[in-house]
Structure 1
Amino acid sequence: MKTLKLIAAGIILLVTSTTTQAQVSLNVNVGAPPAWGPAGYSNIDYYFIPDVQSYYDIRNSQFIYYGNGKWIRSRNLPQQYRGYDLYNGYKVVLNDYHGRTPYVHYKSHKAKYYKGYKGKPQKSIGYKNNNKKVVYKNNYNSGNKHSGNNNSKHGNEKGNGKKH
């Protein structure tokens, strides 16, 4: 009888630890910033993209934009902006908002961050080179200077997919 209790306790412990490990690995992957996001930021939920007047929800990997009289959440940009280069476009990091509806501040965001707005220079977390994602080898933080070999997206424009 004692052996059966030990076996049952062992099975319960094994099932519980397996479930906990699965939850941890799932949570690690959810809400990761996209490769085209600006480097050097943590604990943010949204970007505002002035050129397309849209938000990007990092946790849900969704764009939020206004269309047909309502705010729409989608994995893709609206049709008219599908060709927009997210790697080279400016992203405003909304580090002061953590709710579910960043568009409640849309009027002020639109006025302050108009189409064509460029703030401080940004480096993306990664960049595209010949349609492949390449992650920076250095961990850039805002304001850091780098010297020597420039492997950033600005250092080698060859093969970036642009037509000359």
Structure 2
Amino acid sequence: MKSLKHLLTILSFFALSFSYAQVSVNVNIGTPPSWGPSGYNDVRYYYLPDLETYYDVNTSNYIYVSNGKWIQSRSLPRAYRNYDLYNEYKVVLTDYRGNRPYDNYKVHKVKYGKGYKGGPQKTIGQKPGKGNNKHSHDDHDNGHGNDKGHGNGHGKGKH
């Protein structure tokens, strides 16, 4: 009987710990990066036409082709590591549901080719280091900023 009480106590501890961990893990999921376009807090994907890359807001992963396969990564490919995402145009995929936005890649690539610009677009937050032209794509403050971001002055990219 004593060992049964001990086992139940241990199981209760693990169950409580697991449920607490679940709550704390989910707090930041789905928070757009500061370089994301303002006004779209409930979207999951952006398409970055100049990079031919998707960004998954829920997982904070970039999705792009590498060696002929779609991969998800926390960072961009080496060739784009110093790319300024605050000035990159973001197409907001408002009508897409699911986990594979690249299923529509051929359509997106044609419709939003490299150099594509829509109407005015502001970022959620300000570019760090005002006056500093270098920006790391890994600089996600995951805050919602003050909406005085400096986009490139081109479109919301609503799709």
Q: TM-score, normalised by structure 1?
A: 0.68
Aligned to 1:53: 52
Q: Higher relative CO (CA 8 A, sep ≥ 6), structure 1 or 2?
A: 2
CA contact (8 A) 2:61 2:74 kept: yes
Residue 60 to residue 129, structure 1, CA distance change in 2 (3 Å): closer
- 1:4: which partner in 2? none
**2:97 paired residue number:** 98
How far 1:69 moved relative to its partner?
1.1
Q: For 1:31 and 1:66, how far apart are their aligned partners in 2?
A: 23
**Radius of gyration: which is bigger?**
1
Instruction: Give yes or no for contact 2:35–2:125 (8 Å, CA) kept in 1.
Output: yes
- CA positional deviation for 1:129: 3.1
2:150 alignment partner AA: K
Structure 2: segments with no counterpart, 5+ residues: 1-11, 130-134, 152-159
Partner of 1:36: 35
Change (3 A) 1:43 1:129: closer
Contact 2:32/2:144 (CA < 8 Å) preserved in 1?
Answer: no
State how 1:4-153 maps to structure 2 within 5 Å: 22-130=21-129, 136-137=145-146, 140=147, 151-153=148-150
Partner of 1:63, secondary structure, is strand
Does the 8 Å CA contact 2:32/2:41 hold for their aligned counterparts? no
> Residues 127 and 135 of structure 1 are in contact (CA less than 8 Å); yes or no, is this contact kept in structure 2?
no
1:89 is matched by which residue type in structure 2? E
Q: Distance in 2 between matches of 1:38 and 1:22?
A: 31
Shift of 1:136: 3.7
Q: Separation in 2 of the partners of 1:136 and 1:58?
A: 16
Counterpart code for 2:59: N
The Cα RMSD (Å) is 2.7
Unpaired runs of at least 5, structure 1:
1-11, 141-150, 155-164
Q: Aligned residues, how many?
A: 133
Asked whether the 8 Å contact 1:44–1:98 carries over to 2, the reply is no
Once the two structures are superposed, what CA deviation does each residue of 1:36-81 show, in whole Å capped at 9, x if it has no partner? 1001012211100001000001111111111211111111111111
Q: C-alpha distance in 2, partners of 1:39/1:61?
A: 16
Measured at CA, do residues 152 and 57 of structure 1 come closer, stay the same or move farther in structure 2, by a change above 3 Å? closer
Q: Tell me the percent identity.
A: 52
Matched position secondary structure for 1:56: strand
TM-score of the pair, normalised by structure 2: 0.70
* Shift in CA distance, 152/61, structure 1 to aligned 2, threshold 3 Å: closer
